[in-house]
Chains A and B, each alone.
Chain A
Amino acid sequence: MARALINLPKTAKAGAVIEIKTLISHPMETGYRPGPDGRLIPRNIITDFVCTYDGEEVFRAELSPASAANPYLTFTTVATKTGTLRFTWTGDNGFSQTEEMGITVV
């Protein structure tokens, strides 16, 4: 399990636009870098990130080797109702991680 950091407000007013910050620890090996033996280290990156709000997709990102290590993404969404936000990262070598955060809408 990679360490993931997610920052979003615990409570929000209905209809308010909230900012979500996400960071996951991952080397994002580009596949263009030679290792100690002089051979290229095979590519190992996170290719997709999806954020769903109560099952509905609100944000998606397709990453490439040009994304920095420990991919950091910030985006916004409208706080519609109290519910769960699910964050999923998937990538090379079967990498997959899902985190969940609740939000209370008043």
Chain B
Amino acid sequence: MRTLTERRTILAGGAGLLAVAFARPGAAAIVRPTREATVEAIRRFTGGAPVETGRIRLDMPPLVENGNTVPLAITVESPMTEADHVRRIAVFNDKNPQPHVVTLHLGPRAGRAAVSTRIRLADSQTITAIAEMRDGTFWSATADAIVTLAACVEG
């Protein structure tokens, strides 16, 4: 009987440890959105529509010295006609305090789907760009960057 009680104690202790292990990521989420926040932001942009890879190109330096200003260029393969053009392009990050970076609205008047801007990166992370086409399809591209000087903290 005694051995059984001991075993129960150990089991209870184990369950407690497990609870602590699960609580950790939750606590971190208060400080900074985890991947789920980015996924949620992307879902809000696409409205739950499937996102395919391709047609969009995201140019960003792979090694960033200063996260306060990172050049970013996006081009989308599209004829940019009234019947077939890029409606919107949104950029999302993985580790900044907010998942959204920028949303750009284009149209047939753009002539070409080529835009560029400068962004902030708080950490080494993956950047995702998603383009919404006239026909309602979504296309995405990702780029990784290693950041040596983080934005928000030092800047």
Contacts and interface: CB of A to CB of B under 8 A. Distances in A.
B119 A66 contact: yes
A71 B117 contact: yes
B148 interface: no
A66 B110 CA distance: 24
A91 interface: no
A17 interface: yes
Interface string B75-109: 00000000000000000010011101111111101
Interface residues on chain B, size class: 20 to 34
Contacts of A75: 104, 106, 110, 114-115
A9 to B, nearest CB: 13
B103 A62 contact: yes
Given A59-B110, A72-B117, A66 B98 contact: yes
B46 to A, nearest CB: 16
B2 interface: no
A15 B138 CA distance: 28
Interface in A82-97: none
A63 B102 contact: yes
B117 A66 contact: no
B25 interface: no
Interface string A60-74: 111111111101111
B137 interface: no
B98 A73 contact: no
Contact of A67 (B102, B116, B152): B102
Contact of B117 (A60, A69, A73, A80): A73
A56 B120 contact: no
B88 to A, nearest CB: 9
Interface string B116-155: 1111110000000000000000000000000000011101
Interface of B: 68-70, 93, 96-98, 100-107, 109-112, 114-121, 151-153, 155
Interface of A: 17-19, 30, 32-33, 53, 56-69, 71-78, 80
Given A67-B101, A76-B114, 10 more contacts: A17-B112, A33-B152, A53-B109, A59-B106, A59-B110, A61-B102, A61-B117, A62-B104, A65-B96, A66-B119
